[in-house]
Amino acid sequence: MSSTGPHAPTINSSHFKDFQTEGEPLNLVSAAQSLTKFASKKIARGNAFRQIHSNPELFSVIPRGATRYRAALYFADGMVNAYQIRQWYEPLRQLSESIPLVVIVRNPRTAIALQKECPLPVYFARTIGDIENILESQQIDAVFYVNQNIRNFQMMRFNDPAHVFICHGESEKAYMWSNQLKAYDYVFSAGLAAQERLGKNLNRFDVQDRTRLVGRPQIDVDYDAPVTLNPSLPTVLYAPTWEGDRPSMRYGSVVSHGVDLIDSLVKDGGFNIIFRPHPRSGINDARYSEALKSLHARLDEADKTSSATLYYDDSPQWGWQWANSDLGITDISAVSYDYLATGKPLFITKPLSTEATVDDSPALLRVPGLSAADAAEAPRIIRDRLLSKDNSYNDLVEHYFGDTTRGASMQRFIDASLEIINETHVLNKEAGRA
């Protein structure tokens, strides 16, 4: 394996230090595998740079005149976190019908991938100078962010745009009241519950002034289902989150609940199953990864002979699952609140880890929980719930999302965005910066 040119990887003995624990002998096999992976990534990155430089008309377009960009979404991540931006494609596309909008990315391989699938123009900013170039040549009055990547601060150093955190879904995770939110000019939240959450957990943060309630515009988007379900059977969506990267974020239920849950539903045979694990599942915990592989194989094998549809869902779109399921089982994550907005029956798993941060929120107090001990009894529990007449959460849905009638959230998102963009433009014009 070799590569030439300015982006070819350079590897020396110092790289082995990354794979050796102090005081322990170096595992040469593990180190060699890691270095091979490291080199492959470097080569792929170099190839991506060359592809971008060969096609500037796709990645560095600078519009002029009335077509100049008025807003941007900033995404500094790799494609492992593409799920965070994909859910915003359609809301941003609809916003772009009113003002020109661009997606600014920092990772070359992400730029290439998004250019193929994103409905918005993609601008690759390799350096801060590239960011300065697009900000100076355009009229970008608002920049949106879907996550808390540390490289967000490289964009947030610029004063002219309003910096708006739109997140990638509401939840009761501690992430939702991170002190980092204070860095943004505005935080787009779904409903009153989010304002209460921020007011309770953030000091010196003016909730009323700094937040805008926009509902969940994703519920107003239609997605095509990649699978045909057996229409004669009820469909259960099991959508667990990942294992987390620290004790307070250990909400994932694949190991604690998922194996017994899926096994009991498959053996019962009376339910279609959509199993949708979080895209980052298994990256930090080998047990989590192995459990996913086992469940994938279990569903694929059982689906060959079952009258039920048993689907391991790794499709790129998140949203079609809501419309095509009758009951949801989720962890404490944004998925639970997306599903709550449908008004359909829902269970939220109880974390097995005592270190996971769990807030006594209205949703967690009202929505039935599912313990690890109950996972094997899922068929009975689910049937009882589907037959129950007390599955309505209309008041809770309104508290978390506001008006959820068709199109209401999308319109609130567009209206709030345009208001901030226009107000910022006036401020910049008065200061002589527009």
Instruction: With a cut of 60, say whether residue 10 has pLDDT above it.
Output: no
Please tell me whether residues 392 and 418 are part of one structural domain: no
List pLDDT tens digits, range 364-380.
788 899 999 999 999 99
- Quickly state the pLDDT bin for 27 (edges 50, 70, 90): low
Please tell me whether residues 243 and 175 are part of one structural domain: no
Q: What is the CATH number of the domain that holds 378?
A: 3.40.50.2000
User: Domain range spanning residue 157?
Assistant: 57-215+409-430
List pLDDT tens digits, range 344-365.
999 999 988 777 767 777 787 8
Average pLDDT over residues 383-393: 84
Share of residues in the chain with pLDDT > 90 (%): 62
Q: Measure the CA–CA gap between 16 and 239, rounded to whole angstroms.
A: 38
- Is 344 within a domain? yes
Choice among 64-68, 245-249, 414-418 with the minimum mean pLDDT: 245-249
Q: In sequence order, what are the beta bridge partners of 137?
A: none
Distance of CA 253 to the CA centre of its chain: 18
Please tell me whether residues 289 and 272 are part of one structural domain: yes
Q: Which tokens hold the place of 283?
A: 């990256």
Please tell me whether residues 367 and 424 are part of one structural domain: no
Please tell me whether residues 395 and 419 are part of one structural domain: no
Please tell me whether residues 346 and 421 are part of one structural domain: no
Average pLDDT over residues 82-88: 93
Please tell me whether residues 276 and 141 are part of one structural domain: no
- Is 50 within a domain? no
- Is 4 within a domain? no
Contact call for residues 350 and 118 (beta carbons, < 8 A): no
Strands 346-349 and 327-330: parallel
Instruction: With a cut of 80, say whether residue 72 has pLDDT above it.
Output: yes
The pLDDT of residue 375 is: 97
- Is 90 within a domain? yes
Decide which of 178 and 274 is more confident.
274
Question: How high does pLDDT run on average in the chain?
Answer: 87
Please tell me whether residues 267 and 198 are part of one structural domain: no
List pLDDT tens digits, range 270-321.
999 999 998 788 788 889 899 999 999 999 999 999 999 999 999 888 889 9
- Is 19 within a domain? no
- Is 8 within a domain? no
Please tell me whether residues 173 and 268 are part of one structural domain: no
Please tell me whether residues 296 and 246 are part of one structural domain: yes
- Is 137 within a domain? yes
Between CA 76 and CA 357, with CA 219 as vertex, the angle to 5 degrees is: 60
Instruction: With a cut of 90, say whether residue 80 has pLDDT above it.
Output: no
Instruction: With a cut of 70, say whether residue 2 has pLDDT above it.
Output: no
List pLDDT tens digits, range 44-71.
777 776 888 777 777 788 899 989 999 9
Helices (H), 286-357: 286-303, 320-323, 334-340
The pLDDT of residue 41 is: 72
Average pLDDT over residues 423-429: 94
Contact call for residues 270 and 308 (beta carbons, < 8 A): yes
Instruction: With a cut of 60, say whether residue 14 has pLDDT above it.
Output: no
Distance of CA 91 to the CA centre of its chain: 14
The pLDDT of residue 26 is: 56
Instruction: With a cut of 70, say whether residue 1 has pLDDT above it.
Output: no
- Is 122 within a domain? yes
Please tell me whether residues 205 and 274 are part of one structural domain: no
Q: What is the CATH number of the domain that holds 125?
A: 3.40.50.11720
Q: Measure the CA–CA gap between 239 and 224, rounded to whole angstroms.
A: 18
The pLDDT of residue 380 is: 97
Q: Measure the CA–CA gap between 237 and 239, rounded to whole angstroms.
A: 6
Please tell me whether residues 104 and 247 are part of one structural domain: no
**What is the number of domains present in the chain?**
2
- Quickly state the pLDDT bin for 269 (edges 50, 70, 90): very high
